Structure 1
Amino acid sequence: MDALTRVQIVWTETRDLRVPAGGDPATLSTLRRNVAAIANESEKTFSRFEPIPARDDDLFGPDVVDCAAAAEASPSGGLKNLRLILWPSADGKTLSKDDLAPPAPWNSAPPETLELIGRFTVDGHDVSAFSRMVGENEDAPRFVSIVTGTGLPPDTGVYVPREKPRRKVDPKLSRIAFWCTMATVGFFAVACIWSLSIGNLTRSAQNLFAVSAAGPLCPTTIDPANPGTLYGAPRAWLPTATDNGACLKAWQAATVTALDATNRDWWSRVKGWLTSWTVSDSGRAFSLRMPMLLMMATITLLAVAAGLGVVGRPLGLFIDKRNRMSLTRIQFAIWLVILMGALTTYAMFNIGFWAEDLNRIHEGLAYMANAGKTDQKLTGWSDKLSNLLEYMPRMDLALWGLIGISGGTTIVSSFITQPGTPSAPTTAGTMIPPRRTRILSNPDPKDAELADLVYGETAEDEGVVDSTRVQAVVVTGVLAAIYINLALEAAERIGGLTSAEAVNAGTQIFASMPPAGATFLWLLGISHGALLGGKLIGAYKGGGT
């Protein structure tokens, strides 16, 4: 067993023990050396390995140093082949059997074989530590503790339970969280059906437009003689100075007919009613803005419900283990809401637009697998048809990088803000990382404040505004505002040209998410790097500064 594991074991088993008034502090050090010796000989005896605070921790520092010294010391001959028990004892010579009988072989061990190591207190209880030699044919656990439960059956009542009970939430808040969750389910269903309906009605309008007199005469392809068609609509689709052109008039007529719910079943009427709320520009285009905003609000409401149900606060999802508001969690949540809201809305629209042709697409793929191979007119259509079955929009490398940077920053930040994280042992002075200042924490989640987002996280920077955190807030806010508007604008003005071009070319209208771009990713990466750098400097900067 390596020294680091022994330190964790010794710390876990003895961290709650205190030497009573008038007692000898050296007895606790002796106990720790005994635990370390047993851990070195019988690792399987122990199953608890808890994080170790820093050596210079204001509260636990001396105990951590003592545990490290015990774990690193070479066991003497007198510490080998021993059993150890932490148990109540009224006289310091025998094990108490009043509340709970000690397990075998301690329940039958003669008092003269027990050697007292020391007496300690823990959480209002008195316990004594005894050792004895391992007897022949004894296979019971070498270490038994009524304090932590090591060596005892799982359901045994101990003085320091392995896990603290979760903080109870006010029943009223729990009910509010429940109904918020139910509302989330309802709003999510509405947002999905809304997007699906717009896609379906857009395709219906496209079908009507295609069979109209003007439809076949309206160009959708790029005209090499007119470079403006590389990024804009062909002239036939533009309104004139006095009226709409023939293409726009034909599309408006198709839109009105598609939205007409007369003599239709109830489901078609529902879809038409939902879609009618999103028709813009006097019937010339459809819009996904409202269902996308509803989808993003739904994800946000789910986060609020989780916070209320678990912590009892609307922003509870963003409170970390230190009971402080976590900036990195909020950053990750912002991008999750924006990306998943847009991605889901686009995907549901694509499904509504092409789903009615699903069987026909499969037939086309079957044809391409045989006769299509020899028909030069259908070259490339196999890939196009396959892409029509990909309803989820693709994301460019910048967006994948955004997710990686945000998620990675959240994970790395959680390690940096640990009370203390040990490194691989080399010498007694370097086993526990030399954190130079204490990481701030609050006793209760209700103490978390939004000010935590900009204040320093260490004792030296308590109440001081941290510039690296402020810039992270600003950059995240600016980039989020840019991309959410980009996603919303991309979902606007889904008109005749867009839908006709998608059908003629055999592509999804939303084949990919709006690209973020390299500059976007660089700004985000540098901002998160500065934030992590500030956390590292704040936690491990030299003392005395």
Structure 2
Amino acid sequence: MSLLALKGSPALVWIAALAGMVLCLAAAGQSVTGRWMGVLIDERNVMSLSRFQLLAWMALVLSSLLAVAWVRLFAGLPDALAIDVDFGLWVLLGVSTLSLVGSGALLKARAGAPADTARLEPPQQLLALQGTPVDEVSHLGSLYANRTAAAATWSDLITGEQVVNAAHVDVARLQLLVFTLLVLLAYAAEFIPFFFSTPAHQLGTKFPGLSVSLVALIAISHAGYLAAKVSR
């Protein structure tokens, strides 16, 4: 089905835009790291929680913007590109971006700190029991690292970032991941009636709203996530 054939179906345009966004991110990761989820892998060769949550929101928001613009343009509606995005969504994206930048700065400081090599062996043994080859385990300062991108796993999103806690669940990271997924799914569900129940010639420019409570939930989770990084 061509893109022109999709012009009368907001739902199909949205699905196609979201799928295209995900494929572009996957292709970028594959071309650089040799893995489809490579865009989530940072310089320590581990999956980055900050990258995951920012890219997830980016994919949802940009695909929705493209879908609305495409449908309204082909429907011949006036001011097709004058899309009104909810202010709370901009706040959420800003918080996510600041969290990514702040997390990177804190990790850079940790990477420059000297590592206590005597404390490396116990975590390595535990990681080996969990299936991580010992020869893949490395470190940057006091931070846990993998020698290659191939060793990065999804569990990196919820485990500690330092060598001493890399084999254990980090509650602050787990909380941020759970809250991000819940809010992301809740907001994505708002687009179902927006795209699936609205004819192309009636598709408005105002995005579904994001409640203050949801924005506050994510902001508090990010604050706790960064505070946990500072305290360790």
Other-structure match for 1:295: 17
CA deviation after TM superposition for structure 1 residue 420, in Å:
2.7
- Is the contact between residue 307 and residue 313 of structure 1 (CA under 8 Å) also seen in structure 2? yes
1:321 maps to amino acid? E
The runs of at least 4 consecutive aligned structure 1 residues that moved more than 4 Å come to none
2:44 maps to amino acid? R
CA deviation after TM superposition for structure 1 residue 392, in Å:
3.9
1:519 maps to amino acid? S
Partner SS for 1:417: helix
Cα–Cα, structure 1 residues 413 and 194, in superposed 2: closer, same or farther, change >3 Å?
farther
2:79 maps to amino acid? L
Tell me how far apart the structure 1 counterparts of residues 72 and 81 of structure 2 sit (CA, whole Å): 6
Other-structure match for 2:167: 463
CA deviation after TM superposition for structure 1 residue 194, in Å:
4.6
Other-structure match for 2:185: 481
1:396 paired residue among 72, 86, 97: 86
Other-structure match for 1:351: 73
- Is the contact between residue 292 and residue 488 of structure 1 (CA under 8 Å) also seen in structure 2? no
Partner SS for 2:35: coil
Other-structure match for 1:511: 205
Partner SS for 1:491: helix
Show CA shifts across 1:195-217 (max 9, x none).
5x21xxxxxxxxxxxxxxxxxxx
Other-structure match for 1:530: 224
Q: TM-score, normalised by structure 2?
A: 0.81
Other-structure match for 1:413: 103
Show CA shifts across 1:456-500 (max 9, x none).
0012212010011111111111111111111122112225xx95x
1:456 maps to amino acid? G
- Matched ranges for 1:32-43 at <5 A: none
Tell me how far apart the structure 2 counterparts of residues 346 and 401 of structure 1 sit (CA, whole Å): 21
Show CA shifts across 1:198-256 (max 9, x none).
1xxxxxxxxxxxxxxxxxxxxxxxxxxxxxxxxxxxxxxxxxxxxxxxxxxxxxxxxxx
Cα–Cα, structure 1 residues 482 and 194, in superposed 2: closer, same or farther, change >3 Å?
farther
Gaps of 5+ in 2: 114-140
Other-structure match for 1:25: none
Other-structure match for 1:338: 60
2:198 maps to amino acid? I
Cα–Cα, structure 1 residues 402 and 194, in superposed 2: closer, same or farther, change >3 Å?
farther
Tell me how far apart the structure 1 counterparts of residues 157 and 146 of structure 2 sit (CA, whole Å): 14
Tell me how far apart the structure 2 counterparts of residues 313 and 494 of structure 1 sit (CA, whole Å): 38
- Is the contact between residue 158 and residue 170 of structure 2 (CA under 8 Å) also seen in structure 1? yes
Tell me how far apart the structure 1 counterparts of residues 55 and 11 of structure 2 sit (CA, whole Å): 21
1:314 paired residue among 10, 28, 36: 36
Cα–Cα, structure 1 residues 294 and 463, in superposed 2: closer, same or farther, change >3 Å?
same
Percentage of matched positions with identical amino acids:
25
- Matched ranges for 1:55-70 at <5 A: none
Q: Which structure: larger Rg?
A: 1
- Matched ranges for 1:171-190 at <5 A: 190=2
Cα–Cα, structure 1 residues 488 and 535, in superposed 2: closer, same or farther, change >3 Å?
same
Partner SS for 2:169: coil
Tell me how far apart the structure 1 counterparts of residues 5 and 70 of structure 2 sit (CA, whole Å): 9
Cα–Cα, structure 1 residues 299 and 194, in superposed 2: closer, same or farther, change >3 Å?
farther
1:406 maps to amino acid? S
CA deviation after TM superposition for structure 1 residue 391, in Å:
1.8
1:420 maps to amino acid? G
> Cα RMSD between the aligned structures?
2.0
- Is the contact between residue 13 and residue 71 of structure 2 (CA under 8 Å) also seen in structure 1? no
CA deviation after TM superposition for structure 1 residue 390, in Å:
4.8
- Is the contact between residue 322 and residue 442 of structure 1 (CA under 8 Å) also seen in structure 2? yes
- Matched ranges for 1:194-209 at <5 A: 194-195=5-6, 197-198=7-8
Q: TM-score, normalised by structure 1?
A: 0.36
